[in-house]
Structure 1
Amino acid sequence: MIATLRWPTLGAVTVVAGTVSIVALRWWTTRGNVPPDVPVLLAGVLAAIAALVLVLGIRVRRAVADARLDDPVGAARVLALGQAAAVTAAIHVGYLLAQLAMILPRLTAPEPREQLLRVVLALLAAGALGVAGMVTQWCCRVPDDGDEGQGRDDEDDAAAA
């Protein structure tokens, strides 16, 4: 059984990745080096992966809803892919926020302004990847036999009666 990934866990991953990244970037720049550029291609790749993960998750959801899931191992793989995508997105968001923190003090120069646009695009794509991963995780849930249309409170009320 694969454990459910939660938003606070992704927040913690983002904070850790951002902290490590800002320390590493500051160390790199204090040695006289220029911070690494964020390519526009990163945003495109993250957005493409987000779309793929979301499509696969929706396919699993439809198969589960129609009770025609032929490949439960494949569905588990899609679930793992969704969770990996969400964690990857959290790491990217942490790194990109560190890049943003390095750029903001130097916005008067033209190069940091161009870099700012690329970082913001990559941040949006990384956020989309995180959401796609979490939605895919939700899509891969299998409803319990007795839970159709009932919430947790309805079950507790029925058990108490």
Structure 2
Amino acid sequence: MTPHTGIRATTLVIAGLVSMGLSWLLLRWVTSGGAEMPPPGWIAIAVMVFLGAGLLVAGWQVRKVRDGRSDGTVSPLRAARTLVLAQAAALTGSVLVGWYVANVLVLLPNADVQSQRDRITPFVLHALVALLLAACGMVVQWWCRLRPRDDEDVEPPA
């Protein structure tokens, strides 16, 4: 039996692709009726950066305790919550990347017009920040991983 390894990168890629596909279909349907997509709010970037930074700080504290280098204590419950938050951030980031890329794909056929290029730029920036959020989640999940004990290193004979 293999131990649970957490969220995998393939899971994030699949979630992002499904999000992108469904979002593209929805956005194409909405814009086919003549509606325009609203630009993304800049507050979203601030929120994603804030969440990623806070997650890295919390994960670093758990990592220090895990490695035995901390003066303070982090309760097991707090460490578990940090791990769950990291996994949620990774999944959320990947789904948001899909959403923002779908917006770019819908605007891309008209990218030869300067006004449309100006609308694409914020979506690309949001997608990059969402990708960073997903990366922060994966890094913190890795930091929260417990190392195997010495007695767990040896495989039992079959």
Matching residue's letter, 2:150: G
Could you tell me which amino acid in structure 2 is paired with residue 31 of structure 1?
G
Which segment is superposed worse, 92-101 or 37-46?
37-46
Q: Distance in 1 between matches of 2:104 and 2:97?
A: 10
Amino acid at match of 1:13: A
2:15 matches 1:13: yes
- Aligned CA distance change for structure 1 residues 54 and 70 (closer, same or farther; 3 Å): closer
Deviation at 1:43, TM superposition (A): 2.1
Q: Which residue is 1:63 aligned to? A: 65
State the identity as a percent.
32
Distance 1:102 1:127 in 2: 19
* Alpha-carbon shift at residue 84 of structure 1 (Å): 0.3
1:122 is aligned to 126
Instruction: Tell me how far apart the structure 2 counterparts of residues 3 and 90 of structure 1 sit (CA, whole Å).
Output: 18
| Deviation for aligned residue 1:61 | 0.3
Considering fraction of residues, name the structure with more helix: 1
Question: Equivalent residue of 2:36, what SS?
Answer: coil
Note closer, same or farther for the CA distance 1:70–1:108 as it changes in structure 2 (3 Å cut): closer
**1:42 shift after superposition:** 1.9
TM-score normalised to structure 1 length = 0.85
Counterpart Cα distance in 2 of 1:19 and 1:121: 20
Question: Aligned pair count?
Answer: 153
* Other-structure match for 2:41: 39
Amino acid aligned to 2:90: A
1:51 to 53, 61, 69: 53
Are the equivalent residues in 1 in contact too, given 2:61–2:74 (CA < 8 A)? no
Counterpart CA distance in 2 for 1:138 and 1:45 is: 23
- Normalised to the residue count of structure 2, the TM-score between the two structures is 0.87
Residues 1:15 and 1:41: Cα distance change in structure 2 (over 3 Å)? same
RMSD (Å), alpha carbons = 2.3
Q: Which amino acid is 2:77 matched to?
A: V
SS class of match (1:50): helix
Instruction: Give the letter for the 2:137 counterpart.
Output: G
